[in-house]
Amino acid sequence: MMAIPVLFALLFVLQTRIDARAQAEAQAQEELMLRSPAAIEKMSLGYNSLLADVYWTRAVQYYGERFATPHATFGLLWPLLDISTTLDPKLLPAYHFGAIFLSQSGNSGADRPDLAVKLVKRGIAANPKRWGLYADLAFLYYWHFQDYKDAAAAYLAGSKVADGPAWMPIMAARMEQKGGSIDTSRLVWSQIYESSANEKIRKMALDTLKGLKAEEDEADLNNLADQYRQRFGRFPSSFAEMRDAGLLRGIPVDPEGYPYVLGADGKTSLDPHSPVVIPEVPKTPPPLPKD
């Protein structure tokens, strides 16, 4: 019974050190307060799962404190996730949400999709019957690396899990056939929206779907403007002209109801006040992580 008070004393010390370090860390050089997951595992006194929950909770707090903060850095995120999943390899939320935290760019995450892939692969190795992890891995390969072959392989592997959903082999085939198309992106994000119970993830998926619709609309409207130029020798000055020429049925609006803007060069863009954001996919994918 003496182990329990000692454990809670240890947890208090660890949490205090985490908070103190997090407050004092410099953005240019962040380091974890404890040496390694293996060392912490030895200190856990057999209460690995409890301590893993502590570190996972701290990872969520750490991410939440920095999310959407300009110039925020996330240097402690991977070490916290590394420790959490080493202590408890069955801690599924740490793999799923941790991969999101790691892979998002800008002010939304660590911009380390390579570490996200490493984390999810670790999750699959420890939980090979969880099809959701294969879907997470496929998404990372698809969205962040434009690696359609490995994305297809991940979806196909997930489809072979006992309760793998029927759409996974369909996704695998789509990756092989039309990996880089907007239709494929829409299918991927639709599945994320429909299969997730987390409201933040559903909102992210819905926002991305709206952005993809806007991207598709812009391409279609650009083509129609070019048809107008071929017919009349100039670009249209407004969508009303395109409508009057029989190329449009009305004034086109984006998924949030804001009218599109037509430039003098015939190119369509979003209204500056529209909340719709066209998703950015890196033109040059980052290097694939090494196993």
Q: At 274, list the tokens.
A: 């529209």
pLDDT at 23: 56
Provide mean pLDDT across the span 229-236.
96
Using alpha carbons only, give the angle 216, 109, 290 rounded to the nearest 5 degrees.
Answer: 90
What is the rounded CA–CA span in Å between residue 120 and residue 146? Answer: 17
Phi, psi of 269 (to 5 degrees): -140, 170
Query: CB count, 10 Å around CB of 177?
Result: 11
pLDDT at 168: 93
Q: Which candidate, 54, 33, 34, places its Cα nearest to that of 42?
A: 34
pTM tops 0.85, yes or no: no
21-62 tens-digit pLDDT: 555 554 434 444 454 666 666 666 667 888 889 889 999 999
103-148 tens-digit pLDDT: 998 888 999 999 999 999 999 999 999 999 999 999 999 999 999 9
pLDDT at 149: 94
Provide mean pLDDT across the span 81-92.
94
- What average pLDDT does the structure give for the chain? 87
With a pLDDT cut of 90, the percent of the chain lying above it is 65
150-180 tens-digit pLDDT: 999 999 999 999 998 999 999 999 999 888 8
